[in-house]
Amino acid sequence: MRNIFSSRNSIYLFFLVVFISLLFGVIKLENKISQKTMEITTSDIISIANNSASFIGKILEKSSDTYAKTIAENSTLQKQLEDYFSLLITSNIKYVYLLHKDNRGIFRFLADGTIDKSNRACLNQKFDIDNPLWLNIFKTKKPLIIENSYSHQLSITYLVPILKENKVELILVVDFAISKLEKINEVISWIKMIMMSIILVVIASLLILIIQTFKYIAVKKTAYIDKLTGVYNRNYLQESEGFINLNDYILATLDIDYFKTVNDTYGHDVGDKVLKEMASVISLSTRDKEDIIIRYGGEEFVIMAKVRRDDSLGALNVIERILRNVRQYKFFYTKKDYIHMTVSIGINLKPNESRNFSDAFKLADIALYNAKNKGRNNIQIYDESKDNDGSMLSINDIKEALDEDRILCYYQKIINNNTNETTHYEALLRIVNKKGDIVLPDKILPIIEGTFISRNITKNVLRICSKKLEENENINININLRPKDLLDKSIIEILENYAKKQNISNRLGIEIIQNEDLINSKDGKNILLLLKDLGYKIFVDDFGSGYSNFIYLSEIKTDYIKIDGTIIKNILEDKILYLLVKSIISFAKEANIKVIAEHVNTKEIYEEIKALGIEYSQGYYFSSPKESLE
């Protein structure tokens, strides 16, 4: 009996020592928390500054003159820099400006991002430095931090050198201030009081509570943790989604690219190993105790990245870091052999604008669909300006539209630039909703991706277009087929049957988006060659925006390339895109492939692409999509 009491007293004494140690530890906690908070806060701002300096360096790297002279003589570039700097201004970042040192050693402004334009410094206005440490940057040629600590905030000047031929040409300066956490002492005092009460009043009860708590946590951990990867599972999400404050996070959905191929090629043991290591890479890329990782199912993960101070940039950096780290990681399946994996990620930057977590998740999933559709291995952000108008259809809505024959095609002209004649029409999917409004594909396709409804939609479009071709023997119509459509036997059988009809297949163009799903498919190439033999013309859509295999284009004897509209609509302002288009045209001519420019929406763009030698155009400059053929 004495031994029992002795053991019990030893336990009590142990916990008493622990709590007293904690009490003294709390006293030192304030400085550590404050220091760590400063480190975390400044890291994102420093990252922004470094990335901005790198961006400026890339813009100027081909300049034959000094960077300062290049900027000073280019008012458009100066304005672009100032506008870009003004976007970086936040509640913490006070000033962003670009300096150079003239031949007399005087610092002068090149660009000032002050939001109030009336207070911006003028070009070459003198800038007086108040600390000789500034001059060290010309010796070290490395970024420099200068701190000025005040009673309630820490003011920091961060200098980033921009080098040319290993010489400091410019200095990017970011001034920011960080408020110290004044309430830390209040919280710590409260913690001290609670701990003293626990030590003096309820130490015995606390022992029982701790034991029960550990048991409860162990049970909950088993229920909410994915056994394979060690991150949260779907049970955790279902249990907690009603309590998640959507104002605190950005929401991302992540899918491992071609994971099925890994399982099929290397076996499920290797697949499981990839999943475990993928979860580890994601965990190491996120911020401990801030970001939440959930294995949603199979090879799909959900990441909730914490937003600090109403600024999503830091959270967005987390998602970008995941993509970058996955790309660099080697997944070893033996001691020597490894494979590289990639991921597709969709992001909802504003989940708080959705009614609940499920709606917010759906929008991130739509962005994920777009990432996959653009060739995978990339990040796509949900575009609220286009998709948050409440017109997104549900699966049931689309089923009913199929049953009630409310599937339509609108048609947009493709023009021969030399004759101005209409050579083809592209058929574009539309659905009439119950209100009689026309619904566009971006409100339809993300919902039906991977379902049998997608195949049925394609069959309906084929039926509508073949009927149009039979009614009018003088027109050519293009339809869009996705890789999954081309690999579907029932759809290929329909195309084979159409080819048996006179004067159909030679007027029905097949537009495909070239991506790795198609390139890596064993049957994809053979199916496209079969369609060519049957008389169909092959159009490669959105060329230049994603995965491009030029050899593959020659192997399948592509007839037309459609240059992606996002490239064409920016060709007048972006020199790089202009050069890209010239390269595509050069390749196409050598390969005897005709070129179509998409999104030709203005006379200026039309004249430019015509001067470049592009043979065909499609866009609002000629016509918008219409239900009737003209």
Distance between CA atoms of residues 72 and 373, nearest Å: 43
Strand order in the sheet with 153-164: 126-127, 107-112, 93-101, 167-179, 153-164, 144-149
Assess contact for 606 and 600: CB atoms under 8 A: yes
Nearest CA-CA partner of 76 in 568, 573, 566? 573
Residues designated as active site: 299
Assess contact for 345 and 371: CB atoms under 8 A: yes
Q: What are the residue ranges of helices labelled H in 286-352?
A: 313-328
Q: How many CA atoms lie within 13 A of 589 on its CB side?
A: 9
DSSP tag of 434: T
Nearest CA-CA partner of 101 in 166, 161, 175? 161
DSSP tag of 288: T
DSSP tag of 272: H
> Number of helices and strands (H, E) in the chain?
24, 22
For 384-409, give one letter per residue: b (16+ CB within 10 A) or e: eeebeeeebbeeebbeebbeeebbbb
Calculate the CA 182 to chain-centre distance. 36
For 36-55, give one letter per residue: b (16+ CB within 10 A) or e: eebeebbebbbebbeebbee
Distance between CA atoms of residues 109 and 60, nearest Å: 17
Distance between CA atoms of residues 597 and 550, nearest Å: 18
